[in-house]
């Protein structure tokens, strides 16, 4: 769903805000619907089950704190479900550390898409708007 967003970043441009917002809204609706399904029937097809990482990137590009927080919740839910599925017990402190590392890893990947300093500066500013605690 977000292939064009990534392609545009590779070309040092950004997808138009309105277009990205519509895609984000549709993708979040799909993702929440997928999360309500049993894990055994979930698909890996990103057109049906959008990547949480790409949702996070879109929220950053939209510079929308509410969208960013929504995706953080989705990522947290997925991490929690992964540990439950493995039968692993994890403390709150361990989960918080894992969650923060996961989130920062996704944000670092976003910055690594395009090595252009101007693009990275722009992306860093967008990240700081939605997630001031990020130490990248």
Confidence (pLDDT) at 67 = 98
Domain assignment present for residue 80? The answer is yes
pLDDT 10s digits, 18-67: 999 999 999 999 999 999 998 888 888 888 999 999 999 999 999 999 99
Report yes or no on 116 lying in a domain. Answer: yes
Q: What is the mean pLDDT of residues 63-77?
A: 97
For residue 31, being part of any structural domain is answered with: yes
135 falls within a domain: no
What pLDDT shows up at residue 103? 96
Place of tokens 């894990």: 39
What pLDDT does residue 94 have?
93
How many domains in the chain? 1
Cα separations (Å) of 38 from 33, 44, 55, 76, 112? 11, 13, 21, 17, 34
pLDDT bracket for residue 133 (50, 70, 90): confident
In a domain, 136, yes or no: no
Distance from C-alpha of 88 to C-alpha of 118, rounded to nearest angstrom:
43
3-state SS class at 110:
helix
Contacts by residues 125-132 (CB-CB < 8 Å, ≥ 24 positions apart): 126/60, 126/61, 126/63, 127/60, 129/63, 129/65, 130/59, 130/60, 130/63, 130/64, 130/65, 130/67, 130/68, 131/60, 131/68, 131/103, 131/107
Between CA 31 and CA 14 the distance in angstroms is 23
Flag whether 107 is in a domain.
yes
| Residue 134 pLDDT level (bands cut at 50, 70, 90) | confident
């Amino acid at each position: 769903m977000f292939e064009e967003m990534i392609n545009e970043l590779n070309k040092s441009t950004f997808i138009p805000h309105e277009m990205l917002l519509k895609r984000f809204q549709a993708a979040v609706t799909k993702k929440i619907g997928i999360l309500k399904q049993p894990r055994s029937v979930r698909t890996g097809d990103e057109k049906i089950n959008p990547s949480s990482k790409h949702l996070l990137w879109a929220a950053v590009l939209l510079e929308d704190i509410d969208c960013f927080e929504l995706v953080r919740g989705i990522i947290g839910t997925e991490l929690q479900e992964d540990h439950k599925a493995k039968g692993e017990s994890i403390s709150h402190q361990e989960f918080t550390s894992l969650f923060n590392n996961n989130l920062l890893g996704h944000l670092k990947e976003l910055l690594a898409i395009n090595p252009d300093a101007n693009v990275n500066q722009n992306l860093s500013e967008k990240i700081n708007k939605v997630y001031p605690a990020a130490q990248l």
